[in-house]
Amino acid sequence: MRTQTCTSSAFSHLHWKDTSAMSSLTTSIPATEPGAGSSGSAPYPFDYEGWKRISDSGAFRILADSALSSSHRIRDTAARMRELGYAGEDPGLLFAVATHLASTITSILRFGSPELKSALVPDLLSGHFVGAHAITETGAGSDVSSMQATATVDEASGKVRVNGRKVFITNAPIASHVVVYARTYRGGNDEGISAYVIDTTCPGVAVTANHITASLPHSPIGELELSDVTIPQSWRLGAEGAGLQVLDFVMKREIIYAFSADLGRAQKRIEDSVAFANSRRQFNSLLAEFQSVSFAIADMYVRHFAGTAMINEILSKIENNQDITKEVAAAKILISDANLQTAIEATHLRGAKGVQADSTSVQDVLDALAGPIYSGTNRIQKTRIAAMLGLLTDG
C-alpha cells in the first residue's frame, strides 16, 4: 500500500526487474509516466541505470543504518556523495540523489509519524520510490514565507486539502512522493506553513516536466499543480505550522550532500587539469611550466581544500550537537562559487578544445552555474550569516 488515500501500484519504471525500462543508459520516459494526473508530452531523459546503480550500492540506506550514530550516517552519506562526484556520475543525477536523500528520507525519518515511516521509508531507501520537495512558487522564490499554496484542515474528517502550484521542483517528473510546503488554515485561521507528504498518484496531482534547464539537464525538474489533493493529517511532517523548521533542517542536509558531490567532482577536475597541463606543449614548454597556469591550478586546490575543511567542520559540529546555520551557509557559498570558478578555469586551460560543442567542460560550467541558486541562493545565505553575526539587518 502506498498511501491511505491513493492506491495505485508502485511505478513499474522504478522496478529494476522491469528491464524494458532499463534498456539504455539514459532512458527517455514520457512526462506522463510518473503520476496519474501528470501531463505534458516531451520525452524526459533520466538516467535510470545510474539511479539503480546508486540505489543498489546502498547509498540511500546509509541514512537508516542502525549500526551508525545519526551524525555518522550524515558523514558517511556525504562521503559517498563525494565519491560519486569524483567517479564522474552526472551532476544532474547527483542533484536528483541529494534531493531524494534530503527531501523525503531525511524529513520522514526525522519528522514523520511511525505510520508514514513504515509506509514509505523502505521503498525510499531502496530507490523504488523517489522523493522531491516543493517549496518554490512563481511568486515565492527566495521569499518562501509569501507562498500561496494552502492546506485546509477539515476538522470533521481529519483530512487536509492541499491546493497550489509549485515550480522548479527537482525530481517532480519521476517522484513518487513530494513533500509539499503549504500555508495551513484551520477553522479559517492561518496556522503558518506546514510540510505534507503527497503521493503523486493522488487524484488532483498534476506534474509537468517542462523546465529542461541548461544547467543540470539530466536532473528531472518540473511543476506541480495541486487541486484539492486530500491526504490524512498523519502525513504532515512535524508540528502544524512548523514547516519552516522542517525546511531548515532538510535544506542543511541537502547542501551537505549536494555540495559534497561537487567537491568530489572538483577533485577530479583538478587531477584532470594537472594531467592536461603536464602533457600539452606550447612555446616548446609544458603548460605546467608557465607559472600563471600552475598557479591557477594551485588556486583550484586552495578552494577545494577550503570547501572540504568547511564540510568536515560542519560534520564535526553535527557530531557535537552544535548549531551549523552560518557554517552551512558559508560552505554553500564558498563551494558553489569555487565550483563555478574552477569549472571556468579548467575550460580556459584547454583552449579552443574547451569550448568545442561536444566539450564536457562547457557542460561542466553550465552545471556549476546553478549551484549559487538552488538550496537557497548565495545572497540569501549571506543574509542568514549577517543575521547570525548579530547585524541589525532589519534596521
Ligand X SMILES: Cc1cc2nc3c(=O)[nH]c(=O)nc-3n(C[C@H](O)[C@H](O)[C@H](O)COP(=O)(O)OP(=O)(O)OC[C@H]3O[C@@H](n4cnc5c(N)ncnc54)[C@H](O)[C@@H]3O)c2cc1C
Catalytically active residues are: 254
Site for ligand X in 18-57 (CB under 6 A): none
Give the residue, chosen from 94, 96, 343, 370, that forms a contact with ligand X under the rule CB under 6 A: 370
Closer CB to ligand X, 221 or 340, in the complex: 221
Residue 133 found at the interface with ligand X (CB under 6 A):
yes
Question: What are φ and ψ of residue 35, in 5° steps?
Answer: -135, 160
Residue 363 found at the interface with ligand X (CB under 6 A):
no
Residue 99 found at the interface with ligand X (CB under 6 A):
yes
Closest contact distance (angstroms) between CB of 31 and ligand X is 17
3-state secondary structure the chain: CCCCCCCCCCCHHHCCCCHHHHCCCCEEEECCCCCCCCECCCEEEECHHHHHHHHHCCCCHHHHCCCCCHHHHHHHHHHHHHHHHHCCCCHHHHHHHHHHHHHHHHHHHHHCCHHHHHHHHHHHHHCCCCEEEECCECCECCCHHHCCCEEEEECCCCEEEEEEEEEEEECHHHCCEEEEEEEEEECCEEEEEEEEEEECCCCCEEEECCCCCCCCCCCCEEEEEEEEEEEEHHHEECCCCCHHHHHHHHHHHHHHHHHHHHHHHHHHHHHHHHHHHCCCEECCEEHHHCHHHHHHHHHHHHHHHHHHHHHHHHHHHHHCCCCCHHHHHHHHHHHHHHHHHHHHHHHHHCHHHHHCCCCHHHHHHHHHHCCCCCCCCHHHHHHHHHHHCCCCCCC
Torsion angle of C-alpha atoms 299, 300, 301, 302, degrees rounded to 10: 50
> What are the Cα distances from residue 286, in Å, to 8, 275, 280, 294?
62, 11, 6, 10
Give the residue, chosen from 119, 169, 310, 365, that forms a contact with ligand X under the rule CB under 6 A: 169
The position carrying cell 562526484 is 85
Give the residue, chosen from 116, 134, 202, 340, that forms a contact with ligand X under the rule CB under 6 A: 134
Closer CB to ligand X, 94 or 349, in the complex: 94
Closest contact distance (angstroms) between CB of 241 and ligand X is 19
Closer CB to ligand X, 230 or 377, in the complex: 377
Closest contact distance (angstroms) between CB of 167 and ligand X is 7
Give the residue, chosen from 46, 51, 60, 374, that forms a contact with ligand X under the rule CB under 6 A: 374
Give the residue, chosen from 44, 46, 48, 168, that forms a contact with ligand X under the rule CB under 6 A: 168
Closest contact distance (angstroms) between CB of 272 and ligand X is 24
Give the residue, chosen from 373, 385, 386, 387, that forms a contact with ligand X under the rule CB under 6 A: 373
Q: How far apart are CA 359 and CA 178, in angstroms?
A: 35
Give the residue, chosen from 27, 77, 136, 339, that forms a contact with ligand X under the rule CB under 6 A: 136
Closer CB to ligand X, 99 or 273, in the complex: 99
Is 243 exposed, middle or buried, given 0-12, 13-18 or 19+ CB atoms closer than 10 A?
A: buried
Site string for ligand X, 56-95 (x = CB under 6 A): ----------------------------------------
- How many binding residues for ligand X (CB under 6 A)? 22
Closest contact distance (angstroms) between CB of 132 and ligand X is 6
**Span from 109-117, 134-142, 194-202, 359-367 in contact with ligand X (CB under 6 A):** 134-142
Closest contact distance (angstroms) between CB of 384 and ligand X is 10
Site for ligand X in 138-157 (CB under 6 A): 141-142
**Span from 1-9, 193-201, 320-328, 374-382 in contact with ligand X (CB under 6 A):** 374-382
Contact 189, 162 (CB under 8 A): no
Site for ligand X in 177-236 (CB under 6 A): 213, 215-216, 221
Residue 330 found at the interface with ligand X (CB under 6 A):
no
**Span from 70-78, 184-192, 354-362, 377-385 in contact with ligand X (CB under 6 A):** 377-385
Helices 360-369, 325-349: crossing angle, 10 deg rounding: 160
Residue nearest to ligand X according to CB distances in the complex: 141
Give the residue, chosen from 39, 233, 360, 383, that forms a contact with ligand X under the rule CB under 6 A: 383
Interacting residues with ligand X (CB under 6 A): 99, 132-136, 141-142, 168-170, 213, 215-216, 221, 370, 373-374, 377, 379-380, 383
